[in-house]
């Protein structure tokens, strides 16, 4: 009886309506498009509401701030998954091809500069953006680590710096020299980077 009275006094709340994953994707897709068109400063919840055809309440139930919404939209972009061939040069080329394709066919080339620019004076956004970027770099860094384990690259190779050498030129060309954003140039860069990493290892071994 006591348990029955307790249950009556504290009725179990029925669960709320489950989140609609398809609706979330529409919201994030439209947010991503608006980021590319307007930048972070121009992005507003009202604009997302109009484009996604949802209510403000729907957005704020999922993302409390514009920063959270923008980062969630950025994280919607596909991950780059390295191809394991056992040869670091061919693996980097496959990695570059994916990156090249994403920069040409997704809003990445316009969205990332918008977020980086805002992050320079928005600590909250900077922290969240760094978390996402670091997580998305891990697959590329793991590719370098595997090459070190196989003995293709010297043990002294810093995986994070090697990854920056691979990705940096692509982002620089995409953001600042889009007219010179050519795949054939990146293939030359890959050969130079791999040769340089191997040469540094030989020089280090000779010095030792």
Checking phi first, is residue 126 left (phi over 0); if not, alpha (psi -120 to 50) or beta?
alpha
pLDDT tens readout for residues 60-79: 999 999 999 999 999 988 88
Average pLDDT over residues 5-13: 44
Cβ(159)–Cβ(134) below 8 Å? no
Taking the CA atoms of 99, 48, 117 and 120 in sequence, report the sign of the dihedral they define. Answer: negative
Tokens read off for 45: 């919840």
What was the pLDDT predicted at 18? 55
Q: Is the pLDDT of residue 15 over 60?
A: no
Q: What angle do CA 40, 41, 47 make, to 5 degrees?
A: 80
Looking at the domain that runs over 20-74, which CATH code has it been given? 1.10.10.60
Domain with CATH 1.10.10.60 in the chain: 20-74
Q: Is the pLDDT of residue 203 over 80?
A: no
Overall size of the chain counted in residues: 208
Q: In CATH, what is the architecture of 88-207?
A: Orthogonal Bundle (1.10)
pLDDT band at 21 (very low <50, low <70, confident <90, very high): confident
Q: What is the mean pLDDT of the chain?
A: 85
Domain with CATH 1.10.357.10 in the chain: 88-207
What was the pLDDT predicted at 1? 40
Tokens read off for 90: 């061919």
What was the pLDDT predicted at 43? 92
The residue among 114 and 48 whose pLDDT is bigger is 48
Which residues lie below 8 Å from residue 134, measured CB to CB, with a gap of 6+?
none
């Amino acid at each position: 009886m006591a348990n029955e009275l307790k249950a009556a006094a504290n009725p179990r709340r029925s669960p709320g309506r489950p989140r609609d994953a398809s609706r979330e994707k529409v919201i994030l897709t439209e947010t991503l498009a608006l980021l590319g068109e307007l930048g972070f400063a121009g992005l507003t919840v009202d604009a997302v509401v109009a484009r996604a055809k949802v209510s403000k309440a729907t957005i704020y139930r999922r993302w409390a701030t514009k920063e959270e919404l923008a980062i969630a939209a950025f994280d919607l972009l596909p991950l780059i998954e390295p191809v394991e061939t056992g040869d670091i040069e061919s693996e980097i080329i496959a990695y570059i091809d994916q990156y090249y394709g994403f920069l040409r066919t997704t809003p990445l080339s316009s969205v990332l500069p918008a977020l980086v620019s805002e992050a320079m004076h928005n600590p909250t956004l900077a922290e969240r953006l760094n978390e996402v970027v670091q997580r998305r770099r891990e697959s590329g860094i793991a590719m370098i680590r595997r090459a070190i384990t196989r003995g293709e690259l010297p043990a002294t190779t810093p995986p994070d710096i090697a990854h920056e050498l691979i990705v940096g030129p692509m982002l620089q060309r995409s953001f600042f020299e889009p007219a010179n954003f050519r795949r054939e140039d990146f293939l030359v860069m890959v050969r130079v980077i791999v040769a340089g990493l191997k040469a540094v290892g030989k020089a280090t071994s000779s010095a030792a």
